[in-house]
């Protein structure tokens, strides 16, 4: 993990009850008087990890990391009730208020970029800046690419993903995976979750990286990621068609950086390009030798450069 800031201990942590069902795990570290920044993990459902604190200089940032509904350490895990983009936007506002933060930098990659854009468009006055990576706008074409298009680059991995289902069910991968993933029987949902999650992990780096892929096959992460992703996909990310592009005028003046791997297969570069064409005010950085993962060396370098630049935003 060269290029990241050193590992840092949590300063404070807790659970925030956002309704009668969900409690969000949150933590802060770094300088309690520094520039506030919130890290939005991917998925939806992937959860946050200790290395996510390391994109930010702890001497200058008050770093907020949390797990979204149903993900990571939030409770209950894998829960789909009361779990939508609108709920997650409201959760961010509730957490900001709970922590006494007036305005913060919002940092998100993959699904985190989707949520960052949706949140900023809903609450632009709460956002100092946006750092976005591996852009996903939640459009039907992007979901279809994930389900079927990635076979053009990763045919072996896609074959394992598709062939998990009986032949008669492969015409609608999403519906038939979703049906298994929401089944209450672990004998039904866990095998499907492992295959879905491992498929995504295998396609996330430019070069094979077994260490990066291993967590995707672990039961808790696999179930949360696969179940919540399928839930959001079948509901079109709970956003109107093209909503994030149509509402860019709400955030056009917010300082923003878009970081995109040229060979990102999970979230292909065409989406980031289209976002930048519609939003030329945002800086656009293409990493020529990177795939999807935030931990790709070139992506790490570009993200650190962005956080270094944004730590003095007022």
* Residues belonging to the active site: 110, 264, 292
Quick check: 87 and 237 in contact, CB under 8 A?
A: no
Q: In the Cβ-directed half-sphere of 143, how many Cα atoms lie within 13 Å?
A: 20
Phi/psi at 118 (5° precision): -65, -40
Q: Bridge partners of 285?
A: 259
* List of residues 6+ apart from 302 with CB closer than 8 A: 259, 285, 287
């Amino acid at each position: 993990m060269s290029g990241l800031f050193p590992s840092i201990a949590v300063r404070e942590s807790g659970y925030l009850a956002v309704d009668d069902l969900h409690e969000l795990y949150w933590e802060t570290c770094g300088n309690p008087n520094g520039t506030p920044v919130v890290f939005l993990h991917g998925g939806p459902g992937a959860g946050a990890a200790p290395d996510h604190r390391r994109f930010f200089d702890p001497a200058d940032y008050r770093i907020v990391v949390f797990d979204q509904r149903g993900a990571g350490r939030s409770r209950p895990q894998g829960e789909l009730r009361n779990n939508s983009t609108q709920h997650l936007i409201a959760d961010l506002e509730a957490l900001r208020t709970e922590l006494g933060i007036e305005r913060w930098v919002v940092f998100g990659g993959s699904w985190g970029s989707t949520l960052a854009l949706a949140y900023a468009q809903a609450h632009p006055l709460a956002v100092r800046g946006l750092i976005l990576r591996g852009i996903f706008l939640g459009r039907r074409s992007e979901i279809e690419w994930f389900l079927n298009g990635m076979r053009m680059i990763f045919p072996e991995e896609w074959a394992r993903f598709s062939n998990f289902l009986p032949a008669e069910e492969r015409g609608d991968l999403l519906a038939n995976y979703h049906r298994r993933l929401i089944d209450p029987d672990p004998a039904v949902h866990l095998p499907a979750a492992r295959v879905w999650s491992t498929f995504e992990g295998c396609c996330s780096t430019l070069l094979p990286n077994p260490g990066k892929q291993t967590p995707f096959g672990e039961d808790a992460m696999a179930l949360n990621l696969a179940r919540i992703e399928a839930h959001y996909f079948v509901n079109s990310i709970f956003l109107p068609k093209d909503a994030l592009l149509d509402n860019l005028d709400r955030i056009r003046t917010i300082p923003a950086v878009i970081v995109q791997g040229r060979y990102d297969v999970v979230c292909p570069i065409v989406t980031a390009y289209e976002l930048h064409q519609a939003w030329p005010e945002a800086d656009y950085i293409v990493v020529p030798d990177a795939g999807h993962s935030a931990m790709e060396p070139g992506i790490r370098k570009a993200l650190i450069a962005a956080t270094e630049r944004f730590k003095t935003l007022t």
